[in-house]
Amino acid sequence: MKRARSLLFGCSLALGVVAGSGVAFGAGGGRGTGGTSGAGATDVAGDVMTAEAKARFREGLDFYKAHKNTEARAKYLQALALSQSAAIYLNLAIVEYDLLMYPDALRHAKAYVLHPKAEAAKVDKLKREMIPDLESKTAHLSVEGQAGVAVFVDGEKVGVAPIADQVHVAPGEHTVACGTVTKTVVVKAGDTATVIVVIREAVPPAASATPSATVAPPAGASTTPQRAASSAAPAPAPSVGPPQEGRSTLGWALPISGGVVGVAGVVGGVVFLGNASDAHNKGVAARGNENCTGSTSAGCQQASKYADDEQSAKNLAVGGFIVGGIGVVGGVVAWLLLAPRGTVSTSYVTPLVGRDGAGVVYGTSF
C-alpha cells in the first residue's frame, strides 16, 4: 500500500548510471508502472555528484528496490550531505511520501522544484499533484522572531530569524522558541499558524485629558480674591536631611560594564548552543543508520567531524553562560557597593529559577 502511494503522481524512482565525470539517471527504474520517471539521463547532464555521493545514492536505490524504505532514505540523506543533486531531492521526496513523512517529503519536493537542474515536466507534475497533496496532509508555521536569533521548533533549529519560508510540521502541538521567548501552538493538517516569538515593549496608557470641573460662585457673591485669614496654619517647613552625593563615574562604569559582559556572554552561549544543535543534526544525517563503530567510511568520518564540532560548540556555549553569569553578578555587586554616600537604602537580590530559565531580581528602596 505504501509503495503504491509514490506512483499516484506518476513519479517512479530513477536508477543511477555512471556517465562520464558525472552521473546520469535512467528512466523506468522505479517500482510500479506508468507515469514519468524520476530523473532522465539528458536532463541531469552537469548535475555532478562526487564519487562518494554516487556510491551512497546507488546504495539507496538498491534498498528502495528491495522495499527497504527507511534504509534507502538514510543513504539518500548521506548522499545529500555530500552533494545537493536534483535527483537526490526528488528520490527523497518520493521515499519519504511512502514512509508517511509528509513534512520532509514536502520540503524536499519544493527543493527539487527550485533546483536549477530540475526537469520542467517533473516540476510541473509536482506542482499540480504531489505538492498540493502534501500541503493538505501537512501543518505549516509562519514564524516571526527576533532578527538575527536562531529559531527552534520542537528543539530542532530551523533557521535564523527572519524566516521567509513556512516551516512544515506534522499536525498537532508544537513548541516554537526564539531567544528567551517560547510559545506552544496547535495546528491542523492543511492549516497555517502564525507564531510571534518577539519580546514586545509594553505601551503606557495615555494620560487622561478630561478637564477638571469649574464651580461657579453663587449669585451675588464677590469674585474679588480675599486675603487668607491670619489664623490659617503656616505651611510646614521643608525637612532638611543630610547632604547627598551623586553616583560617581566609577559607580556607573563598573555596573554597566558588568551588565554588558553578562549580556554578551549569554548571547554568545545561545549562539554556540545553536551551532552545537546544527552540528548534531548534520552528524545524524551523515551517519544515517550506519553503525560507525570501527568504521572508516566517508559517512562515519563526516559524522565524527560533526561530533567534534558539536562538542566544541557546547564547550563554548557553557563558557559563554559562565562569563555572562559572572558579569551580571559582578555588575549587581558593584552597583550596591558603589552606592552614593549619605543615602539610606535597603537593597535585596533574589534568585529566580523557572521552567524557561533562571536569573536574579534586584530591588532597592530609598
For 208-238, give the DSSP string.
P-PPPP-PPPPTT---SPPPPPTTSPPPPPP
Q: How far is CA 135 from CA 6, 7, 93, 141, in A?
A: 15, 18, 13, 12
The more confidently predicted of residues 352 and 294 is 294
pLDDT at 133 over 90: yes
Are 34 and 47 contacting, i.e. CB atoms less than 8 angstroms apart?
no
User: Model-level pTM greater than 0.85?
Assistant: no
Q: What one-letter code names the amino acid at 222?
A: S
CATH of 2-137, one of 3.40.50.2000, 3.40.50.261, 1.25.40.10, 3.90.100.10: 1.25.40.10
Ranking 198-202, 239-243, 286-290 by mean pLDDT, the lowest is: 239-243
| Mean pLDDT within 226-242 | 49
DSSP string, 59-127: HHHHHHHTT-HHHHHHHHHHHHHH---HHHHHHHHHHHHHTT-HHHHHHHHHHHHH-TT--HHHHHHII
Range of lowest pLDDT (24-28, 141-145, 246-250)? 24-28
Residue 212 pLDDT > 70, yes or no? no
User: Which residue has better confidence, 293 or 73?
Assistant: 73
Burial 328-348 (b: 16+ CB within 10 A, else e): bebbbebbeebbeeeeeeeee
pLDDT band at 216; cut points 50, 70, 90: low
What mean pLDDT do residues 34-51 have?
A: 48
Q: State the Cα torsion 82-87-89-90 to the nearest 10°.
A: -160
Lowest-pLDDT choice from 174-178, 184-188, 236-240: 236-240
Q: Which of 148, 150, 178, 147 is nearest to 272 (CA)?
A: 150
pLDDT digits 0-9 by tens, 278-290: 888 888 888 777 7
* pLDDT winner (highest mean) among 211-220, 257-266, 356-365: 257-266
What is the overall mean pLDDT for the chain?
74
